Amino acid sequence: MEKMISLTIDGVQVQVPNGTTVLEAARQAGVHIPTLCFLKGINEIGACRMCVVDSGARALQAACVLPASDGMVVKTNTPAIKEYRKNILELTLSTHEKKCLSCIRSQNCELQKLCLELGVEDGDKYEGVKNSYTIDDVSPSIVRDNNKCVLCRRCVSVCANVQNVGVIGPVNRGFKTAIESPWGLKLAQMSCINCGQCIVNCPVGALYEKDDTREVWDLLADPDKHVVIQPAPAVRAALGEEFGYPMGTSVTGKMVTAMKRLGFDRVFDTDFGADLTIMEEANELVERISNGGKLPMITSCSPGWIKFAETYYPDFLDNLSSCKSPHEMTGAMIKTYYAKKAGIDPSKIAVVSVMPCTAKKFEAKRPELGHDGLADVDVVITTRELARMIKEAGINFCALPDGDFDSMMGESTGAGVIFGATGGVMEAALRTAYETITGEKLQDVEFHQVRGVEGIKEATIQIGGSDVSVAVASGTGNASKLLDSVRAGEKNYAFIEIMACPGGCVNGGGQPIVSSTVKMDCDIRVERAKALYGEDRAKELRKSHDNSEVKVLYDEFLEKPGSHVAHELLHTHYQKRPMYTE
Amino acid sequence: MDQSKEKFAQLQELIDSHRNQPGALMPVLQGAQGIFGCVSEDVQKFIAEGLGVTLSEVYGVATFYAQFSLHPKGEYLISVCLGTACYVKGSQSVLDKLSEVLEIPVGGTTPDGRFTLEATRCLGACGLAPVMMINGEVYGRLTPDAVPGIIAKYKAKD
């Protein structure tokens, strides 16, 4: 039992376990202390001084790093504190490029919000040193604009400590301090895995996705192009947030209607591709197990994870499933099977994927992911970009009726839907592998052992009398820990699922951005995953091999999982990558 | 070439002696600066790999502290004190004169790689103000007029 201590915050008495910070204690007392650099569990460094409080000490203390002590009396809102915080904001603004009207984070900017809440009247009160930084937009996924950076170091912490990548950090000192890659290298020259966790944790507009909406608008306006769109599972679990729906609301039907109104010729579903992926991946797993192939087999859906493996764990490349990711599989099928059935020249088809992910933009540009000189997927936009397109088109999203995906690649099972949450691919694969191996019908399709947001999960599943041990990791930092233990021979698994982002795709770098204050109170990974597991439960079909459109696809075109044609179109290969490129 | 190999071997030894030590980066960077005269990109990458830290971290520390130099320094390092006592006694004009004679800005290195000119904080020899140091040798009670002669002496060496 932890020792409890008692303190008073703004006259409210509160009891907290010893070791609690004043910021956390205040939250429990219902007292809101403003923060800027603080990111729960990730960046707790007391750098910005926004959260200063009066604890009776000689100077004001940063509440996020101040341990609460027994009998402490804390004031969070005196005139002196308010003046101090306002002054910090004014100083921050003195070096900030205040182009709020055109800023991608306008109305969802933590700095802007603080300035309004704390009554900053004159953004130009102080004139600071304005360093003019060149915007780094070389990466296909991530854009860095240091003119907007407030040096909070949230991106640095998440990149180094959560993702175990660490390609950006503070350089120089004083007014010249900037968050950059070393030696003036661009992000694209570093071992950046394009996960975009820096973006979703940035309080301001210093980091954002490479916008590809212009390209999509141009495709839609081109009468010679047949434009097909497909959204990933996790998109439907978060898109609603951009239109005021509570977190965890599934907006699948409205999303489909919005896509049709935007003018897409076909609206297919990446969930279909997820079911297809399971057919190939479960087959690959069964083959590896029965033919003494390389184990553990590791999933290959997450492009952030794939680049991480190629850079940091090249000795595991043979362990990666050769399956392309679901939207790449769908893209490949659209440009071959669908093109043929619909009688459309594949070179006239454009495939647009909507992904919760910035790394998918990099993935789509991999030269090996295509066929006959055509890329499987032409453009990838994120959930945020889709929301911007819907707003730009003047579509009243909340008033839309529910629509249905187009047939041929629009059907999906519950197994495909749960791909968007950590453990989902594993669970989907187990549902199919179990029935393939045993030939028996699975009584309970839910594998709760592999659900939940813990960074690393392990389970042993009984399939046909033998134990199959599996593991699931989300966040590449956790992937490192897991793989290090496998490499050292401490752990032994048959199958591993790895997703680059903590919690899986629902918390991807392309998802709606949630402020650090909200994240103190709720776990967005849990809330958004609920939407997916809810959809799964509501589905009549919950196993990928029951997807009737997938069955037709195999009957008419692919023959069987792992066939020659399947290998040609649905599988890929990987390459070792250097840490830095010139 | 062999000389460089030898230096990297020395650096490797240094890294090995600090392996798994928390806060090893600082002493290793200092040691590397001593071995190579600067901590260049290659040296930093070598340290990052050796200590198992990111290049971002190494570069961040190296650019934070003024004691580290990213580029090779000249054969002779001229440090002119701009501490309070020296400054009051006119060290700025000594520094300006050096810059003029050597034809390089403060912080720069002559194209032949012989001289690097730096301004420093107090050298602790205020009694001799204004003071400068050339590779550890102290010159006190300087005037701008004394500068050309001193530089000529070094230019004449070897």
Cβ A383 vs Cβ A238: under 8 Å? yes
Residues making up chain B, counted from first to last: 158
Cα separation, A463 vs B7, in Å, equals 58
Bridge-based pairing of strands A349-355 and A379-382 is parallel
Cα separation, A323 vs A562, in Å, equals 10
Segment A272-296, tens digit of pLDDT: 999 999 999 999 999 999 899 999 9
Domain ranges, residue A552: 214-570
**Which of A23, A50, A77 is the endpoint of a domain?**
A77
Residue matched to tokens 């030269």: A367
Name beta bridge partners: B137. B134
Q: Are residues A174 and A245 in the same domain?
A: no
CATH number at residue A441: 3.40.50.1780
Shortest CA gap B38–chain A (Å): 14
**Which of A24, A50, A77 is the endpoint of a domain?**
A77
Q: Are residues A319 and A293 in the same domain?
A: yes
Cβ A567 vs Cβ A546: under 8 Å? no
* Mean pLDDT along residues A301-323: 98
A574 Cβ neighbours under 8 A, 6+ residues apart: A306, A309, A310, A317, A320
Task: Tell me the three-class secondary structure of A108-167, residue by residue.
Answer: CCHHHHHHHHCCCCCCCCCCCCCCCCCCECCCCCEEECHHHCCCCCHHHHHHHHHCCCCC
Q: Are residues A224 and A146 in the same domain?
A: no
Cα separation, B39 vs A72, in Å, equals 48
Q: Are residues A519 and A391 in the same domain?
A: yes
- The predicted complex's ipTM stands at 0.92
Q: Are residues A198 and A264 in the same domain?
A: no
Segment A381-415, tens digit of pLDDT: 999 999 999 999 999 999 999 999 999 999 999 99
Shortest CA gap B148–chain A (Å): 34
Predicted confidence band of residue B107 (pLDDT cuts 50, 70, 90): confident
Is residue A132, in this structure, part of any structural domain at all? no
**Which of A192, A213, A234 is the endpoint of a domain?**
A213
Q: Which of B41, B54, B57 sits opposite A183 (nearest CB)?
A: B41
The confidence score (pLDDT) of residue A486 equals 98
The beta-strand segments (E) located in A128-276 are: 142-144, 169-171, 178-180, 207-209, 226-231, 266-267
Q: Count Cα atoms within 13 angstroms, Cβ side, for A84.
A: 18
Q: Are residues A166 and A185 in the same domain?
A: yes
Shortest CA gap B126–chain A (Å): 28
Classify residue A580 by its DSSP letter. Answer: -
Q: Give which of B63, B129, B46, B59 is closest to B93, Cα–Cα.
A: B129
Segment B131-145, tens digit of pLDDT: 999 998 999 999 999
Q: Which of A165, A170, A579 sits opposite B60 (nearest CB)?
A: A170
Is residue A128, in this structure, part of any structural domain at all? no
Cα separation, A98 vs A102, in Å, equals 10
* Mean pLDDT along residues A228-239: 98
Q: Is B63 on the interface with A (CB under 8 A)?
A: yes
User: pTM score > 0.90 for this model?
Assistant: yes
Q: Are residues A186 and A53 in the same domain?
A: no
Using CB atoms within 10 A of its CB, is residue A162 exposed (0-12), middle (13-18) or buried (19+)? buried
Q: Are residues A207 and A218 in the same domain?
A: no
Cα separation, A33 vs A75, in Å, equals 10
Q: Are residues A200 and A274 in the same domain?
A: no
Using CB atoms within 10 A of its CB, is residue A274 exposed (0-12), middle (13-18) or buried (19+)? buried
Cα separation, A149 vs A105, in Å, equals 12
* Tally of helices (H runs) and strands (E runs) in chain A: 20, 19
Name beta bridge partners: A170. A179
Q: Are residues A294 and A284 in the same domain?
A: yes
| pLDDT higher than 80, residue A582 | no
Report how far apart, in Å, the C-alpha atoms of A188 and of each of A179, A194, A362, B94 are: 15, 9, 10, 46
Q: Are residues A70 and A178 in the same domain?
A: no
Classify residue A370 by its DSSP letter. Answer: E
| pLDDT higher than 70, residue A1 | no
Q: Is A169 on the interface with B (CB under 8 A)?
A: yes
Q: Peptide bond before A561: cis, by omega within 30 degrees of 0?
A: no
Is residue A135, in this structure, part of any structural domain at all? no
CATH of domain B76-156: 3.40.30.10
The beta-strand segments (E) located in A38-78 are: 52-53, 61-62, 73-74
| pLDDT higher than 60, residue B1 | no
Q: Is A171 on the interface with B (CB under 8 A)?
A: yes
Q: Which of B54, B58, B63 sits opposite A172 (nearest CB)?
A: B63
Number of domains in chain A: 3
Q: A397 — phi, psi (to 5°)?
A: -55, -45
Q: Are residues A359 and A396 in the same domain?
A: yes
Classify residue A482 by its DSSP letter. Answer: H
Query: Helix or strand or coil: residue A183?
Result: helix
| pLDDT higher than 90, residue A534 | yes
Contact yes or no for A580 and B63 at CB 8 A: no
B35 Cβ neighbours under 8 A, 6+ residues apart: B7, B10, B11, B14
Q: Give which of A66, A124, A72, A65 is closest to A95, Cα–Cα.
A: A124
CATH number at residue A34: 3.10.20.740
Segment A347-369, tens digit of pLDDT: 999 999 999 999 999 999 999 99
Is residue A447, in this structure, part of any structural domain at all? yes
Cβ A453 vs Cβ A477: under 8 Å? no
The confidence score (pLDDT) of residue B157 equals 84
CATH number at residue A172: 3.30.70.20
Contact yes or no for A171 and B63 at CB 8 A: yes
